[in-house]
Amino acid sequence: MDTRRTELTDPRTGRARGTAPLSREPEVAAAVAAARAALPAWSAATPKDRARRLDRLAALIEENAARYAARERAGTGKPESETAGEIEQVADLFRFYATAARTRTAPAAGRLVEGHESWVRWEPVGVVGVIVPWNYPLLMAAWRCAPALAAGNTVVAKPAETTPDTLELLAEHAARALGEGVLRSLPGDRTTGRLLVESPVDMIAFTGSGAAGRDVVARVGTRRTSLELGGNAPALVLPDAPEDTYAALAEAATYNAGQSCAAPARVITLTGNYAETVRRLTAAMAARTAGRDFGPLNNADQAARYDRLVASSGARLDAAGPLDLAPGEEAGHWRPARLLADLPHDDPTITEEVFGPLLTVQHADTVDAAVALANSVPQALAASVWTTGLSTGLDLVSRLDAGETWVNCHLVQTAELPHGGRGSSGHGTDLSTLALHEYQRPRTVTVRLTGARP
């Protein structure tokens, strides 16, 4: 057994907080074999039985919410106000998919060919390898694992190297509620992830960076993948935007320290409204205090990347908000809310996903030009429009290249609504009943009726 371990760091203080295993070939093989062994019984269970067990898992999450919150906070530094809401969402997701598994729909069935009866069965893909990032360690695991399990698959889930804590606990509770081997946690680093991708799993569901996603695709070959590869979301702010637009954007941009793939990143407004937008967003971002309203960046590598992008920016206006740190947190990965304006359209903080508590502001002379700016980056995950004109807002939503769009709000999500990207943001669907089909495959069955000609 390989006993190599990695050191875990508290992002609030920058200090070591423990260690975690680095799984290698023996551990990966054992986890996949356990999932394969558990597959026949789990996939053969009726939707009612799977639903009952998933509901029990949701109850265990709720009963142990304080333990989950403590682990999530240790790995991410999130404030309690964020962890409490996310754990509630996780329990809700497992309950949602417990019900969704019993209300499936199928394509056409019936006597579609003379003398024959046909129908379609939706079957699980098999063993699903899930790889999730560090920004939402438990929530992203639930987004992937809940529909995969509800669809009848077994899962081997690899958390990010820096945040193995909550997925380990989820796997413990899954063993009690679902059965041994149905959901396994596989802690480790990038090497662990590559080993899982190359192992004999039937599908890989990956959430992470674009570069890592391309590496996954190269290794997976013809097996199925579901990829969510980040975003760089525009927010179109028109002159008639609602009064609360600026505070709402600042809150969404700093939630989870801006480490959300769908977070607003690029504010685009009209030239005549530019100065007012910059003024009001500067004030709104300054009102968001790191250490009080949001947490730190997750790890030293991400903090260094963020600093490089900010340092390389050609912005002539750089406004940063305050920090309010507790004693001992001075060496943590804290970054203030920041607004950059008066910058070129090819600035690296515009063309790349910054993944931090930062907003850029651009302007265009016409609405058409503003839409072109919004669609000018390869990522196409999410976008928002801010206007009191409902017709205008709905028209612009249809013109934005994004898988999820909002009008006069941002980051509003629920289990019933699908989330997924386009372009370099990947493909596939998280959330909603549509996500069940990510982890299923159709089988057409046709039967010749008695006496019919062959």
Looking at residue 108, what is its pLDDT? 81
Q: Which tens digit of pLDDT belongs to each residue from 217-247?
A: 999 999 999 999 999 999 999 999 999 999 9
- Residue 214: strand, helix, or coil: helix
Query: Quick check: 3 pLDDT over 70?
Result: no
Q: Which tens digit of pLDDT belongs to each residue from 302-331?
A: 999 999 999 999 999 999 999 999 999 999
Each residue of 334-364: b (16+ CB within 10 Å) or e?
bbbbbbbbebeeebbbbbbbbbbbbbbbbbb
Question: 452: pLDDT confidence band, cut at 50, 70 and 90?
Answer: low
- Please state whether beta strands 422-423 and 379-380 pair in parallel, antiparallel, or not at all (unpaired): antiparallel
Helices H / strands E in the chain, number of each: 14, 20
Higher pLDDT, 137 or 454: 137
Across the range 363-383, mean pLDDT stands at 97
Alpha-carbon span 180 to 172, nearest angstrom: 9
Q: Residue 357 is encoded by which pair of tokens?
A: 């508590």
Closest CA to 53 of 151, 179, 219: 179
Alpha-carbon span 92 to 95, nearest angstrom: 5
Query: Quick check: 451 pLDDT over 80?
Result: no
Q: Which tens digit of pLDDT belongs to each residue from 80-117?
A: 999 999 999 999 999 999 999 888 777 788 999 999 99
Q: pTM here?
A: 0.95
Closest CA to 323 of 313, 338, 311, 310: 338
Looking at residue 1, what is its pLDDT? 38
Q: Which tens digit of pLDDT belongs to each residue from 34-59?
A: 999 999 999 999 999 999 999 999 99
Contact 272, 364 (CB under 8 A): no
Q: Residue 131 is encoded by which pair of tokens?
A: 């790889």
- Please state whether beta strands 338-341 and 110-113 pair in parallel, antiparallel, or not at all (unpaired): unpaired
Catalytic residues: 228, 261
CB neighbours (10 Å) of residue 14?
A: 18
Portion of the chain with pLDDT greater than 90, in percent: 96
Contact 313, 348 (CB under 8 A): yes
